[in-house]
Amino acid sequence: MTELYRVGGLNAQEWAFFGPRLEMSFDGAGNLLVLDVVNQRVVVIGPDGQLVRVVGREGEGPGEFQMSLVIAVWRDGRLALPDMGHSAIQVFNPEGELERFVRLADETTPLTATLGFRERIRADPLGDGIIAQGVGGVLAQMANFANRRTGQPEDENPAGVDDRALEMLDLSGDVMTSSPILHGWRAPRPGASLSSADAADWSSVVATTEDRYFEPGFHWDVLPNGTIAYSDSSAYAIKLARPDGSVINVLTRPPSPEAVSERIRQELVASRLQLLDERSAGRSSSAGALPPQPPGESRQRIRNRGFYHEVPVVRGIAVTWDGGLWIQRRGEDPWDDDGPIDVFNADHEYLGTLAVGQPAMPTAFGPHGLVVHMERDELDVPTIVVSQWVEGR
């Protein structure tokens, strides 16, 4: 791993002074496209670490951003950004010029802005659409919560597939359409339904839709040939699915889930309470989507949150530019997401395991072995670090 350049930090040039939340992706020319969520702009950085252009700015007009949280980049340099403020997806050509303005839904659809909130998206490598993870349960419930208070009809899932599933977003028309690709497994959750009285209380809605501690995550990425790699259980089982969602292979390795003991429960709750205290004291920051809760209420939620019965092994999946896989496992502590990384080549052969932090999981992979990581100083100011890695022989 050889470091090529750094941009950002407290003393950076104006164009490279970034907000705390960044979404990044490479194009085929080795340019790094950085969505600066706080400043609502896309900064394009060349392979030499110099500014190529800035796309968009905060504003209300076409080509300007109001609330864009994720970015999709095609290899030819085109990019797309869902914008909750505009209730649209904006598509730009490789030169950064606005190409299309695709509305998320027609005006009769309630709370269309929730369609713009996506935790993760990828440009479809086989076409002009976007592969997107569905909207989380809290936001879906939020839409119905608002409908109940205004007398509007409810929808079981007003924002399409949920956050355990993927869908294809078609951007060819004036209004976006979507079609489900695959649905990941969701652990059964007894007693998750709300009574009519509970449904009127927002705190009850949030508590019902919140995952239990150690509930298996839904991790995924897309290979250059359109294959989708995903994990949806506590076991080490990486499913490889065709673009239509049909599973064609499963990659497995020996690590097994650990049973959740009473000791693990107590230690996890104690660690979460300590983290809450640090955040309350201003020594740590969180970029959550929902406003912070009063400390007393937060402490109660930490203690009352349920537990899944075993600790999941897989904590992250990333696809290299050439179609290899990096699979991040749990760390030494059961709640640590930054464990060792298993590396597979493009033929899905296991090459070996990277020790913790050597390196950390990249934020994005680019051509010719390019990878990007993000470092933060004590003031939470980010620095972007671009390196080049070579696969050992």
Q: What is residue 288's predicted lDDT score, i.e. its pLDDT?
A: 44
Q: What is residue 117's predicted lDDT score, i.e. its pLDDT?
A: 83
For the chain, give the number of residues: 393
Partnered with residue 25 across adjacent β-strands are 33
Mean pLDDT, rounded, for 59-85 = 94
Percent of the chain with pLDDT over 70: 82
Q: Is 271 exposed, middle or buried (0-12, 13-18, 19+ CB in 10 A)?
A: middle
Hey, is 139 helix, strand or coil? helix
CA separation for the pair 170, 128 (Å, rounded): 8
Q: What is residue 278's predicted lDDT score, i.e. its pLDDT?
A: 86
Q: What is residue 286's predicted lDDT score, i.e. its pLDDT?
A: 43
Under 8 Å CB-to-CB from 327, ≥6 apart: which residues? Answer: 231, 236, 238, 251, 314, 316, 317, 341, 342, 343, 344
pLDDT digits (tens, 9 = 90+) for 350-382: 999 999 998 999 999 999 999 999 999 998 999
Select the more confidently predicted residue: 337 or 195.
337
Mean pLDDT, rounded, for 258-275 = 96
| pLDDT reading at 146 higher than 90 | no
Mean pLDDT, rounded, for 238-261 = 97
Select the more confidently predicted residue: 192 or 3.
3
* β-sheet with 41-45: strand ranges across: 22-26, 32-36, 41-45, 51-55
pTM: predicted TM-score of the whole model, two decimal places? 0.87
